[in-house]
Structure formats: C-alpha cells, structure tokens
Structure 1
C-alpha cells in the first residue's frame, strides 16, 4: 500500500463561530500524522485490533451512505478486503484532543478508496470535498462541518468565510522571534459532543446569542485579519479580548484545573489562552509576545510551539 501521510489540524480561529457560518482559519499540523497500514510483528497488537474494529464500523456506516447515493462513490469491496486483512490507521494524533484524529482517518479512507478523486484545485471542488467529508465524518461526531478532514486531506491552510466560501490561503512565514502561538496540553481528552450541545443550548437564549454575534465573532474576525496581515500587536490585543470573553461566557469549556492559569494569563499579560476546538480538555491554544517567559510560567505543563513571531 502506498504510504500517504495525513496530518493533524489546528483551528487557529473560529471555534464555535464556524458552526454558525462565521469565519475561521485552520492549518495542518504535521508533527502529528497518520497513515493506513497493515500489521506486522513489530506493531502493538491491541492498538491494531482497536483501530481495525473502528474502521470496520466505519465501513458499515459508509455502506449505508452508499445506498442513499449521498456522496462520491468509494470502492467498498476493496476497503472490506483490506479490513479483513487487518488494515488499521497507524497514527500518533492524540484522540479527543481537538486536532483532527477522525478527520485524518476520513481523509485517508477517501484518498485510498474513492473512485473519482477530487484534488481541491479550485473553490468549487473544495466545497464539494467539504460536503463529502461532512457526511463521512458524521459517523464520528453525529454532525460534522467537514472542515477537519478537508484540512487533513489538502494539507494546506484554509480560510473559511462561510459554508460556501472556503479557500486555500497563505499564512505568515515562521521566524525565530520572541513571540509564539503554542499548544498547551491539558492532560485530559475533550468532550466534544457535550460541549457542542452546551453551546447550541446557550444560543437559544437571546441575550447570549446577541453578545456572541456582536462580540465573540468580532474579536475572532479581527484576530484572523491581524494574523494574516502579520500585525501581531493587534493580534494579541484581540486574542486577549477573546480569552476574557471565553473565560466569562464559556467557563464550562475550560478544564477546572486550568481556570486559574487562564485567568493569570489575562491579568499578568504574559500569555493569553483560547480554546483549541470544542474545549473541555484536549489541547489549549496559547498566544504570547514572550514564549520563553510563558514556558517558564507554565513549566508544570507540556507546551509545543506552532508558530514564532
């Protein structure tokens, strides 16, 4: 089998906003990646069995979708044979950490077994792929935007303006400045389904809905604009506003043992934290003008640099 590697993804900006047809900016993260593989004597047998079983359940789901003719056809016969031969998803992408472990698997299955592969060379194809991936990934989350598998498949930064306006974009080149965007490991898996339901329930309240669209989405837009323009001073200013907003309105989405750490960042202006994905565990995104100081302040926790500026 050809070894095609599919990266993790990071939604830098747009958590929850993209669910309501707002802007987002997502990037591939190649430190974590996965590939379809077959077992050998050096593999951990239990992990292989678990992954193979999950793909088998996914195959059952895809078989039902095919009968409904809802998406581009897959070669399900070949997929079934490979599953019977023990195929599994060999991956170091942390599961339930907000970095697209299921998205990478969906991208890998599509890439290997689709009968009419789209490359996402232009906007129309990107939207078609997004819709295909949305249907496929719904197996894992009940409902999916399709963005995560799209990022993993294209391996390119994506600027999301709406459900029908998604394009490959360029991001600032990394350098060795003092500032950084980094991942902070909460040490516990996230509860994506519960968090999304919590958010949708809050949106039913008119007061929350009003401030979400008026404040949260405004700060989010300004963050994306500042980052793409390489205006990191304005970026940090608006990330702080986002961090404060999330602390006040999405506190349930912050792990309890990180509430004080989150608050300290805001008051000391050393770093600012924001959700990475749905929150409630997994990774947390950090933004700072002085990474070495932030790393020292957060020395009890594992951090990982995504971008220096």
Structure 2
C-alpha cells in the first residue's frame, strides 16, 4: 500500500495502572484512522508544520534509527498526516502518527508479519515510548504499539506484552462496551502530572496497589474469558474506586453520569486514556437501559456481547 492506514486504539483496562506495572488490555478501533499523504492545502498546513517540528525532534535525538533526512525532505514537499482520529480523546491520535512515521522511516523496521516474539514486541514498545515522549513528556509506548500492530494486546507487565484473543462479539447482544463523548478534548501531560503527585502519598500508593490494580486485573481476566457476571462485579468496584480517587481526571460534564451508573447498577464508567476530557468508556449488560440514563450524551458502541 502506498499510504498504509493506522487505526485508533482503545485501552479497555490499565489506564494509569500500567505505569505501576498492572495488567492492561488494549484493542484497535478501526472507526478512526490516519495515513501520511502529500498535498499541501490550507487545511493540511498545520499538520505539515507539526510534522516539521517532529522531524526536527527525531533528527536531533534518533537520527541513527530513522531516515530523518528523507523525513525532513518529505515534509518540505507537503507531507501531512491525514487523520480523523480526534486529538485529546484518549483513542491514540499521537500513537497512530508515531506508528506511521516508524513504518515509513525506521532504518531497521521490525516486521509484524513475521513470527513476533515477546522480545520483539518489548523492543518495539521501547522505541515507540521514546518516539511518543515528544507529545506527552513520558510515554509507555503502548498506544503506538497497538496502532502499529492493529491486534488486541494483553499487557501482563511493562516487560511482558503478548497478543490475545477476545470472546467473539455478538452483534445483537444486550450487553455493550461503549464510548461517551465528554464534548471537549483532554490533555495527557497535566493528567499524568496529577497522577504522579498523588503517587507521592503513601495512602494513595497503598490503595492503588491493593484495590485499583486488583480490580483492574480481575476485570481483564474475566473479560478475556467472557465471564460477564464476575466482570461486572469488579467493574462496579473499579468505577467506584475511580470516582473517589481519580475525580480530577473525570471530565466535569460526566461526573453526575458516572455516579448515576454506580447508584443504579445500570452501567459503569471508567477512564479511556488519561482523562480530563475526550471519551470515557462505559460497560453495561443492558445497553438500551443504560441509554435511558445517558440520553443527554453521544454514545458509540465498540463491542457487543
């Protein structure tokens, strides 16, 4: 393909926890996508300028790993990132861009069609973390990794990532995983900064380890197995914990809706990415019933069961 597409991603479980070595589960989301293209127009000018700055960053820091001269030349010739992935919504807009740049300009590209080992996946994650640090100050590399590989990934720890199969979706299932649009973008760096400030408190570190990570890991185990009753029992605890301890990260417009889900046991919300704005994730065993409580918001189903 001349312009390979790179899709958005959704981190179903593991936001913030993976920084502290919890499990994570991430899936591609093909509704949004981006590709590198050549055609300088007034609409593409800002993307082209962003790429110029990014090419400079790679040139100054990673010229041994990337064909940065070719990258810089392509930007001069009008290259931009044509993407409908919303920025600041927690679905991997910078991850898809980083994956596209790696794919086109890496000097020693790791072939994902070949027999991928855990070591190769870990190597890719490390490279992507360094590349994406330009956008967020600090990056785990997970977002570009999922955008690049375009298959579900199970994160056992920061050094142990593997592909994973998910239960087959049911098109007409009552249950659903869905996105809710908060109506405004969020910024990753300030949210991550809040998290690191919280980590300085011994009480927060303790509850993160003993409660949040425990519920998070249980949700992943049950979701992958398709065991929905224990999944939702743990989702209720996870959503309640986040409501208490991640309140600054919950978009203001969704605070009441978040609590309503917990109070009615109709649906449970959790962060999608770093929070502060963008999307949040919803889980329900009865999507039509959940929608009655969420009629003031735009919801988007990503998985039915």
Tell me which of 94, 98, 107 is aligned to 2:86.
94
Tell me which of 93, 118, 123 is aligned to 2:110.
118
- Post-superposition offset of 1:78: 1.6
- Post-superposition offset of 1:295: 1.9
Q: Give me the TM-score of the superposition, normalised by structure 1.
A: 0.95
Tell me which of 231, 256, 273 is aligned to 1:277.
273
> Distance in 2 between the 1:226 and 1:247 partners?
22
Equivalent residue, structure 1, for 2:259: 263
- Post-superposition offset of 1:257: 2.0
Matched, 1:254 2:246: no
Report SS of the residue matched to 2:30. Answer: strand
Equivalent residue, structure 2, for 1:31: 31
C-alpha contact 1:13 1:25 (8 A) present in aligned 2 = yes
> Distance in 2 between the 1:60 and 1:100 partners?
22
Equivalent residue, structure 1, for 2:208: 212
- Post-superposition offset of 1:249: 1.1
- Post-superposition offset of 1:189: 0.6
- Post-superposition offset of 1:160: 0.4
- Post-superposition offset of 1:76: 1.4
Equivalent residue, structure 1, for 2:70: 78
> Distance in 2 between the 1:171 and 1:24 partners?
14
C-alpha contact 1:119 1:125 (8 A) present in aligned 2 = no
Deviating beyond 4 angstroms after TM superposition, the runs of 4 or more aligned structure 1 residues are none
Report SS of the residue matched to 2:62. Answer: helix
> Distance in 2 between the 1:125 and 1:97 partners?
29
Matched, 1:142 2:137: yes
- Post-superposition offset of 1:280: 0.9
1:1-309 counterparts in 2 under 5 A? 2-39=2-39, 45-66=41-62, 69=64, 73-120=65-112, 121-175=116-170, 176-309=172-305
Q: Deviations over 1:222-271 (max 9, x none)?
A: 00000011001111111111110011111111122211111111011111
Report SS of the residue matched to 1:46. Answer: coil
- In the alignment of these two chains, the number of paired residues is 301
- Post-superposition offset of 1:305: 0.6
- Stretches of structure 2 that go unaligned for 5 or more consecutive residues are none
C-alpha contact 1:203 1:209 (8 A) present in aligned 2 = yes
Which is further off, 295-304 or 192-201? 295-304
- Post-superposition offset of 1:3: 1.7
C-alpha contact 1:254 1:279 (8 A) present in aligned 2 = yes
C-alpha contact 2:52 2:75 (8 A) present in aligned 1 = yes
C-alpha contact 2:56 2:72 (8 A) present in aligned 1 = no
Q: Deviations over 1:155-175 (max 9, x none)?
A: 011100111100111111111
- Stretches of structure 1 that go unaligned for 5 or more consecutive residues are none
- Post-superposition offset of 1:51: 0.4
